[in-house]
Amino acid sequence: MAHDQKKSVLTEQQVAQPTSSKNTLTINDNRTGKQYEIPIENDTIRAMDLRQIKVKDDDFGMMTYDPAFMNTASCKSKITFIDGDKGILRYRGYPIEQLAEKGNYLETAYLIINGELPTKSQFEDWTDNIMKHTLIHENIKKFMDGFHYDAHPMGMLVSTVGALSTFYTDAKNIKDPATRRLQIYRLVGKMPTLAAFAFRHSVGRPYVYPDNDLSYAGNFLNMLWKMTEVKYKVNPVLERALDVLFILHADHEQNCSANAMRSVGSSHVDPYSATAAASAALYGPLHGGANAEVLYMLDEIGSKANIPAFIKTVKEGKGKLMGFGHRIYKNYDPRAKIIKQLADEVFEVTGRNPKLDIALELERIALEDEYFVKRKLYPNVDFYSGLIYQAMGFPVEMFPVLFAIGRTSGWVAQWEELLMDAEQKIARPRQVYLGHGTRDYIMMGKR
Ligand code: ACO
C-alpha cells in the first residue's frame, strides 16, 4: 500500500494501529552517532522535528528535500479523501459515485464548503444566494471586449476572475466570516458567467445575461448557446450531464491548482486574486489540459485498425497514451467510470462521437497489455470527458474553463480551510542552495 498517497487526508481514526505502544520514529545520525526520537502523528513526522538534527551546534539543522511535494503533506484537511490504490474518491466522506448519481452540483458545493449536506431550506438559501450573484459588473464586459477575437477563453477567465478583486474591495477583509461567505457566493455564482462571456466573445456572439429561473448548469448552457429565440430550451439530459461533470471536478485534494489557491491565499490576498492563481495553474497542459490532448491523440490514431501500431509506439517510449495514468490513482479513476456511463446518455442526444469507438478499443487493448498492467496505468478522468464536451458542442479551448467552473467550490473550500487552520502561515518553502559561495564584484570592463 502506498501510504505516501494518503497522508494528507488520513484522519486519526483511519491511521493504522502501531504494533508497539510507542508512536515514534527513532533516527540514528551516522555522522555523529546521535539518536533522535521523533513523534509520529497521523502516520506522519513533522519536518520541523528534523531541525534538531545537527553535526555542529551552529548548523542550520536537517531539512527534507521534496521537489514536486511527492511525499510531503502540506496541510491537514477534512474535505476530500482519495485512496489511489483502491480507486476511491470521497467528498466529506460521501463516495463520488453516490453524489454523482443522487446529488447535484450546488448541493455538492455546499457539502464541500460547509462540511455537511444541506437540509432543504439550507439548500434553497444557498442556491438563492449563489444565483443572486451570477450577474457581473458591466465593466467586466468591457474587459472581455478588449481581448483579441481569438484569445483563449481560459486566458480571459484567469484575467477577469482576478479583475473581480478590483470591484469587490471588501473581499480583502478575509478575517470576517460574513465577508468571506459573500465572496464565496460571488465566486461560485460568477464563474459560469465569466466562462460563458469568454466563449461568446471568442465566437463573436452577443453576451447572454444570466437567467435565474434556470438551474446552475441550465443557466450556463443558456448563456452559452442562446441565439435569437425568446426562451432557449435547455436539454435536460445535457443539463444533468454537465451538472454531474461539475460534481466530478469539484475537488481533488492537494492538486496543483488547489495548492496554488492555498499558497497564494496564505499571503492573505483576496480570494479573487487567489482564484486567478488557481485558474492559471489549471490552465497548464499537465493539469486541466489533458482531455484536449486525448482528442488530438484519437484524431491522430484515426481508426481502430491503427491502435496496435499506436500502442507499440507508446511502449517504445515515443509518446504517452493520453488520458491514462495518474500520480495518485493506481487503479481505475472512479470519475472516469462515471463519465464513461454518462457518455452513452449524452450521445443519445447529441449523436455518437465517432472517436468513442477508438477510445473504447484503445482502453480494451491497453488494459490487457502487460506494459500498462505492470505500471498500473488506467483511464483517468480526462480519457472520456473530452469526448462528451466535444459532442456537446464545446471547442477544445473551453475544456479547462469547464473544469474551472466545477473546481471553484473546491478552491474556495481549500482556501477557507487554510484560513481557519491555526497551524498555517504564509507558504514559504526552503531550498537547498548549490550556487556560488561569496565572491567579489568585478567591474564590467574587467570581466
Ligand atoms: N502512457 C504510457 N506510459 C505511461 C503513461 C502513459 N499515459 N503514464 C505513465 N507511463 C509510464 C511512464 O513512462 C513510466 O514508465 P517507466 O517506469 O518505464 O519509466 C511509468 O509509467 C510511471 O509513470 P510516471 O511518469 O513516473 O508517473 P507520474 O505519476 O509522474 O505521472 C501522469 C502521472 C503525468 C498523469 C502520467 O501518467 C501521464 O503523463 N499521463 C498522460 C497524461 C494525462 O492523461 N494526464 C491527466 C492526468 S489526470 C488530471 O490531471 C486531471
Answer yes or no: is 264 within a domain. Answer: yes
Would residue 125 be called left, alpha or beta, if left means φ above 0 and alpha means ψ between -120 and 50 degrees? alpha
CA angle 404, 183, 174 (to 5 degrees): 115
CA dihedral 144, 145, 151, 155 (to 10 degrees): -20
Residue recorded with cell 445575461: 209
Answer yes or no: is 410 within a domain. Answer: no
pLDDT at 232 (0 to 100):
94
Shared domain check, 98 and 154: yes
Shared domain check, 161 and 109: yes
Answer yes or no: is 143 within a domain. Answer: yes
290 lines ligand 1 (CB under 6 A): yes
pLDDT at 5 (0 to 100):
41
Shared domain check, 242 and 167: yes
Shared domain check, 57 and 91: no
Q: How far apart are CA 447 and CA 441, in angstroms?
A: 10
Answer yes or no: is 398 within a domain. Answer: no
Residue among 311, 326, 333, 371 to mutate when testing ligand 1 (max atoms within 8 A of CB): 326
pLDDT at 18 (0 to 100):
53
Ligand 1 centroid to residue 378 C-alpha, Å? 10
- Range of the structural domain that residue 49 is part of: 27-66
> Where among 372, 391, 410 does a domain terminate?
391
How many structural domains is the chain composed of?
3
Shared domain check, 295 and 277: no
Answer yes or no: is 56 within a domain. Answer: yes
> Where among 282, 299, 329 does a domain terminate?
282
Where in the sequence numbering do the catalytic residues fall?
A: 287, 326, 382
pTM confidence score: 0.92
Answer yes or no: is 344 within a domain. Answer: yes
Residues pairing with 370 in the sheet = none
Shared domain check, 186 and 57: no
pLDDT at 315 (0 to 100):
96
327 lines ligand 1 (CB under 6 A): yes
The CATH number of whichever domain residue 356 belongs to comes to: 1.10.230.10
Shared domain check, 271 and 178: yes
Shared domain check, 140 and 253: yes
- For 7, residues 6+ apart whose C-beta sits below 8 A from its C-beta are 42, 43, 44, 71, 73
Answer yes or no: is 349 within a domain. Answer: yes
> For the chain, give me the number of helices (H) and strands (E)?
17, 5
Decide if 304 contacts 361 (C-beta within 8 A). Answer: yes
184 lines ligand 1 (CB under 6 A): no
312 lines ligand 1 (CB under 6 A): no
Q: How far apart are CA 336 and CA 259, in angstroms?
A: 23
Shared domain check, 47 and 108: no
Answer yes or no: is 2 within a domain. Answer: no
Shared domain check, 235 and 116: yes
pLDDT at 243 (0 to 100):
98
Ligand 1 centroid to residue 377 C-alpha, Å? 7
Shared domain check, 301 and 274: no
CA-nearest residue for atom 41, ligand 1, is 322
pLDDT at 3 (0 to 100):
39
**Closest atom of ligand 1 to CA, residue 375:** 21
Shared domain check, 201 and 181: yes
pLDDT at 2 (0 to 100):
38
Ligand 1 centroid to residue 326 C-alpha, Å? 6
The CATH number of whichever domain residue 273 belongs to comes to: 1.10.580.10
Q: What pLDDT tens digit does each residue of the chain (447 aa) get?
A: 333 344 444 443 444 555 667 999 999 999 999 999 999 999 999 999 999 999 999 999 999 999 999 999 999 999 999 999 999 999 999 999 999 999 999 999 999 999 999 999 999 999 999 999 999 999 999 999 999 989 999 999 999 999 999 999 999 999 999 999 999 999 999 999 999 999 999 999 999 999 999 999 999 999 999 999 999 999 999 999 999 999 999 999 999 999 999 999 999 999 999 999 999 999 988 888 888 889 999 999 999 999 999 999 999 999 999 999 998 899 999 999 999 999 999 999 999 888 999 999 999 999 999 999 999 999 998 899 999 999 999 999 999 999 999 999 999 999 999 999 999 999 999 999 999 999 999 999 999
> Where among 263, 282, 301 does a domain terminate?
282
